Amino acid sequence: MTAPAPTPDTPLTGAPLRVLICDEMNPGDLDHAGYHIDYHGNLDRAETLRRLPDYDALITRSRTKVDRELIDAAGPRLKVIGRGGVGVDNIDLDYASLRGLLVLNAPESNNVSAAELAIMHLMAAARGLTGSDARTRAGTWDRKFLGIELKDKTLGIVGLGRIGSIVADRAQGLRMHIVAFDPYVPESKFERVGVKRAETLDDLLRQVDFLTVHTPLTDETTGMIGARELALLKKDAIVVNAARGGIIEEKALVDALKAGHLFGAGVDVFVEEPPTPEHVFLQAPNLGITAHLGANTREAQERVGAEIVSRVLDALKGDVSKGAVNAPALDPKTMEALGGYLTLGEKLGRIQAQLLPGAHDIEVTFRGEFPADPTPVVTSVLVGYLSGSTDERPNMINARALAKERGLNLAIREQADSPDYQTEVIVKVTSHTADRDRTRTVGGTVFGKSPRLTRLRDFRVELEPEGYILIASNEDKPGAVAKLSTLLGTWGVNIAGMALGRAQKGGQALFTLTLDDGLTPEQLQAIRELDVIESAYLVRA
């Protein structure tokens, strides 16, 4: 049986809803009308299994393992699982979702603490704190070290989400100049926080004295700061990673320190935690290390307990707009009718995020007669568009709230007829700048239960949106596909599928190639430099 997800109609009449807190935390006030909250810090597993069937919600930290055994032991009464803090590694998220259990966390509670730790690492690296401490403890009184002031220096921030924005605010108080790179954030936010925008990562790296990263760890951001990127920094720059291990390549960072290119660095996170005694960081010069302490302040721990309790109580009465980590499954009838369209919507959103990140407007148009109310497809478009660009993982519960926070304007349109297909979903995104507005349009339909791309810009195509898709435009003349195919062949890149489209004979044409493998930035640039190609983009569906 699938436990019912909480809805706005969840009654608060009769017996109070019961919440069990089984891990140690500071939960704040536990006296809430309509609820009975039991706090038992460090409750042992056997006792948790015994008590849980009598509760509507469970709140944990990282100690309690919420696995299949525990979820099954809870029985049908349990509706919500709350995790105090950011991660949910101790929760079997897939099984909880299958059982219809809503899983919540409270990542914002740690934002100030994480941002302040990044600032601490910037200052410690600038003044040689780690090296001076070690030498002084060893009996060497060395006053020759010359540090660097932060005042009037330029700080580069990669990722202007919640934590990155707080870092910018604190650094402005230190009289630093701030420039940030975040292609997923609209210009209005840069203006609101008073930060200069870098159009590319390379542009940011070339102009900063200090660098700090505050992005989620995704396929796109893993290793985004490697040897090439570190080499673009000014000599004697300072680099900090207090976000996620792996965003800055560990060996590349150590090599840059050993070569004397970097003045210093600070890290709070490792790819593998805890590190082994042989880890490259542990013998690196001018590197300050902390043990993933970003959230570890008394104030953050107090906030996280009170915040997760508040969110769990809100969820029990139907408000699931904050902190949702998963999305309880839609009812079987809706899934049967819209399953293919939900997948299509997410893919269209993900493609648009790569074609035009940082959009201000998203317009979703439904053409034709759908087998059920297509409104959930709009949310799946937002899930795809926001994936990898927010501090929280978007899902069918929180995507609209995240889009609103990001400043995205959403429009939904319906047309009774579709000129070419029985049904079609068109997604148009627009960004506004002082110079011009930029728009990208993609569309798709579903054959059986299989999504298909049907439109790119003003061109008709028909392509299965899977893997890597190379989108190229050219003048409608013979030879373009042959030249591009030959170039891909020299790189050993296999073409899995192809679709062609054109506006009119002899005019502009567009063709898409589905590739088995991705392309390097240098390979994509080589394609753009072909005399038969006007533009080329690579997206991953």
Beta-strand ranges (E) seen in 448-517 are 450-456, 459-463, 468-475, 495-502, 508-515
Beta-strand ranges (E) seen in 390-449 are 409-415, 423-432, 437-447
Residue 31 and residue 33: Cα distance in Å, rounded?
7
- Exposure string of 518-539, with b = 16+ CB inside 10 Å and e = fewer, is ebeeeeeebbeebeebeebbbb
CA 395 to chain centre: 11
User: Per-residue DSSP letters for 380-399?
Assistant: HHHHHHHTTSSSS---TTTH
The answer to whether the CB of 384 falls within 8 A of the CB of 345 is yes
* R_g over Cα of the chain: 26
In order of 118, 217, 219, 513, the CA distances from 244 in angstroms are 12, 6, 13, 34
> CA dihedral in degrees (416, 421, 427, 428; nearest 10)?
-80
3-state class of 242 per DSSP?
A: coil
Q: Is the dihedral of CA 45, 47, 49, 52 positive or negative?
A: negative
**DSSP assigned state of 4:** P
Strand order of the sheet with strand 459-463?
A: 409-415, 361-368, 423-432, 437-447, 450-456, 459-463
CB hemisphere CA count around 320 (13 angstroms) = 27
Active site residue 392: no
3-state class of 331 per DSSP?
A: coil
User: Per-residue DSSP letters for 271-328?
Assistant: SSSSPPTT-GGGG-TTEEE-SS-TT-SHHHHHHHHHHHHHHHHHHHTT---SSB-S-P
Catalytic hit among 292, 400, 432, 438? 292
Active site residue 292: yes
Residue 353 and residue 450: Cα distance in Å, rounded?
21
Catalytic hit among 121, 244, 303, 440? 244
- What does the block give as tokens for 516? 């088995």
Active site residue 261: no
From the number of C-beta atoms within 10 Å of its C-beta (0-12, 13-18, 19+), residue 47 rates as exposed
Cis peptide before 274 (omega within 30 of 0): yes
- Give me the active site residues, please: 244, 273, 292
